[in-house]
Structure 1
Amino acid sequence: MSADVPRVAVGECHVWFADAVHVPALLALLDDRERARHDAFVRAGDRALYLTAHALARQLVAAQLGVGPFAVRLTQECRHCDRPEPHGKPGVADADLELSWSHSGGRVAVALSLAGPVGVDIEEVAAEGRAADLAATVLSAVERAELERLPAAERAAGFIRYWARKEAVLKATGDGLMVEPALLTVSAPDAPAALLEWRERAEPHLPVRLRDLDAGDGHRAAVAVLGAECPVVLHEAVYGGDGTLRHPRRGVVTSARC
């Protein structure tokens, strides 16, 4: 059911993108808790996003560990509360592999890292009105000023660039949205991705390596890795109607420093 998935080398981060699909064969890859969560979604699009993200994560992790997808034990841990149901930062039980996933619009992203804790975020570009409403609460004063500097037609995409970068950092540190995004200041949308300031926290665990990613038309994405500089390798996954995972861009993936 899976393609020849490249191994993540020590010190590397790999990010996979895929269009959301709802293939019945993929449901068999989920555990009971995941299937129950999948079934709870009302909208078909939300079910497809959830299914694709979790199935892809299981297949990619399984390939790294040399086991079947059913043998993969995924975890979720929240550092801010003790609610009994699993939630928070995803991980892989009994393995050094770091994991993160995200989905929005019609696209899914899964990041695997042997370079340090990782966070990936993908966002569909929102309408201008929604971006303006959210900017007032989630952007720092510096970021709001930079956003206003952009031409009006570019502000929605600029806001989403900010948001994806912030989410990637907060996922990597394990804080998630329990930390106010406005406490972070990242670089302007038209500048290389970087965490410039985190008010009330001098250094979030380890140095943050932040990079923008090409997520396809209508989407913005970013990945953050905590620790030393590392190469980020991008992949595209495609699912067949029988749940077969193909890797059509094998051999032409891109690599860059984060």
Structure 2
Amino acid sequence: MNKGAPLDGGTPGRSLGEGQRGVSTGIPRVGAGECHVWFAEAVGAVRVPGLLELLDDRELARHDAFAREQDRALYLTAHALAREVVAEQLGMGPREVRFVLECRHCDRPEPHGKPGLAGSPLELSLSHSGSRVAVALSLAGPVGVDLEEIAAGDRAAELAPAVLSTAERAALERLPEAERAAGFTRYWARKEAVLKATGDGLMVEPARLTVSAPEEPAALLAWDDRKEPHLPVRLQDVDPGTGYRAAVAVLGAECTVVRHDAAYGGDGTLYRPRPQ
């Protein structure tokens, strides 16, 4: 991938100082009626310690709790990228961004659930899988993004009964065997995107939702025991790169989805996202 120009407008390889991060105009602003989705490869905390400085205490604790280095890298990249793109929208530094977590299903005292931004109309969603991360921002309504590495065939077959509705399982069986793992992953990403947007998450069984077949345009077709979420669901597939499937759901009016690729240099420089 051609990384393009570093966000500070300087030479590639120079990282932004703490006071510079988030004040560049290199990150595009999210317009009314838009949803922007950024994809990036995960970077390691050991290679890019400057990104750890962007996280707050809660995020650092969660980051450090992961046993696997790859899980730490995914978490770090997703949350650092979210802070940098949000900071540009709000005109502040990444460390000044304050995320809130809201759960619709319980009153546990520790923060958890769907991420949001206090006092801002921006809606936020994050996802990661394999070695890639996704961050979605929207002014059009509550948003959910899901990124999934294509499941192995045996894993897809194992999960299908718990994830897919009866109609979806029948449609998956009609696909050539070689396409079923990717087809299952398409279903999974679409359902997760919807459940993230509504704030239900996996407290709702994915099999209760029926979405369109993998080869058809993304759409929510049915939701057992619920006539419809509180707002219309606008569901769209987004290309995350080879070996992955991704979808984004926005609740409310029709909106335009704008896709970006971002990349981090070895010192933490965030290279300009490019619209697709």
TM-score category, normalised to shorter length: over 0.9
Amino acid at match of 1:11: G
Percent sequence identity is: 75
Q: Which structure has the larger Rg?
A: 2
Q: SS at the partner of 1:56? A: helix
Aligned pair 1:227/2:249, yes or no? Answer: no
Q: Which residue of 2 aligns with 1:190?
A: 215
Q: Which structure 2 segments of 5+ residues have no match? A: 1-15
Q: Which residue of 1 aligns with 2:133?
A: 108
Distance in 2 between residues matched to 1:54 and 1:124, nearest whole Å: 19
Q: Which residue of 1 aligns with 2:32?
A: 10
Distance in 1 between residues matched to 2:220 and 2:137, nearest whole Å: 21
Aligned pair 1:95/2:117, yes or no? Answer: no
TM-score, structure 2 as length reference: 0.89
Aligned pair 1:124/2:149, yes or no? Answer: yes
Amino acid at match of 2:252: G
Q: SS at the partner of 2:195? A: helix
Amino acid at match of 1:231: T
Q: Kindly report which structure 2 residues correspond to 1:204-219, keeping only aligned pairs within 5 A, or say none.
A: 204-219=229-244
Amino acid at match of 1:190: E
Aligned counterpart for 1:56 among listed residues 68, 81, 103: 81
Distance in 2 between residues matched to 1:84 and 1:50, nearest whole Å: 22
Distance in 2 between residues matched to 1:197 and 1:171, nearest whole Å: 16
Distance in 1 between residues matched to 2:27 and 2:173, nearest whole Å: 43
Q: Which residue of 2 aligns with 1:20?
A: 42
Distance in 1 between residues matched to 2:67 and 2:250, nearest whole Å: 34
Distance 1:248 1:233, change over 3 A: closer
Shift of 1:248: 5.3
Q: Kindly report which structure 2 residues correspond to 1:128-147, keeping only aligned pairs within 5 A, or say none.
A: 128-147=153-172
Q: Which residue of 1 aligns with 2:56?
A: 31
Compute the RMSD of aligned alpha carbons: 0.9
Shift of 1:14: 0.3
Structure 1 outlier segments of 4+, above 6 Å:
none
Q: Is the 8 Å Cα contact of residues 164 and 210 (structure 2) preserved in structure 1?
A: yes
Distance 1:82 1:211, change over 3 A: same
